[in-house]
Structure 1
Amino acid sequence: MLTIIIPRTTHDTELLDILERVLKQEREVLESIEPDDDLIEYNLNSILVVELVVELEIVYGIEIDDDDLLTENVSTLRRIQELVGKYQQIK
């Protein structure tokens, strides 16, 4: 089977770095995650959601409102990118 490697952007690399720290998963595992894969399958839980949000705020220089501190807002790579994008536009 042919494996296609899609070049990652700096934004993607930073997000993978964060997930590696928070989810404590090996990089190879994280790189195989599709944009809409449920991160709960990779050990994301309510406690780690808070840790993930704090990391996102630090790395991207944003402040996420309490109303957006929901597991569903960070349950996939796509949703994380949308959340970060929303707050980067506000900055």
Structure 2
Amino acid sequence: MIQLTKEQQIVSFLRKTIAHLTETPSLEHELGDDQLIQEVGMDSVRIIKLIVEIELNLEIAFDDDELLTENFATLMVINKQINQKLGVSL
């Protein structure tokens, strides 16, 4: 059995959540790491829902000043934000 790194687990979680929120199951496998999530149907309401899912599932909280669109633009940018919250150095 292949063990996923924490980063791979987070990216997988993000892909699944975005695919669910956009009601586009194929995104779970097709969304590129540096692709803008707004290009695949993630509007501001869905991004807020994504942030809530991240906070609940990963037991972290974003400060108000971190809730900027550019901080949630791509999988890699979101992953970086999450890792900073979790205290993981990249």
Q: Which amino acid aligns with 1:17?
A: K
The answer to which structure, 1 or 2, has the higher relative contact order (CA under 8 A, 6+ apart) is 2
Q: What's the CA shift for 1:17?
A: 2.2
Give the counterpart of 1:76 among 51, 74, 84: 74
Tell me, which stretches of 5 or more residues in structure 1 are unaligned? 1-6
Partner of 1:57: 55
Deviations 1:25-49 (A, max 9, x none): 21x2332122111111111111112
Cα RMSD after superposing both structures: 2.1
Give the counterpart of 1:41 among 17, 39, 42: 39
Secondary structure in 1 matching 2:87: helix
Moved over 3 A (4+): none
Q: Give the structure with higher Rg (CA).
A: 1
Take 1:29 and 1:19, find their aligned partners in 2: how far apart are those partners? 7
TM-score normalised to structure 1 length: 0.78
Partner of 1:17: 16
Q: Which amino acid aligns with 1:13?
A: S
Secondary structure in 2 matching 1:84: helix
Matched, 1:66 2:61: no
Percent identical pairs in the alignment equals: 24
Q: Which amino acid aligns with 1:76?
A: T
Count of aligned pairs between the two proteins: 83
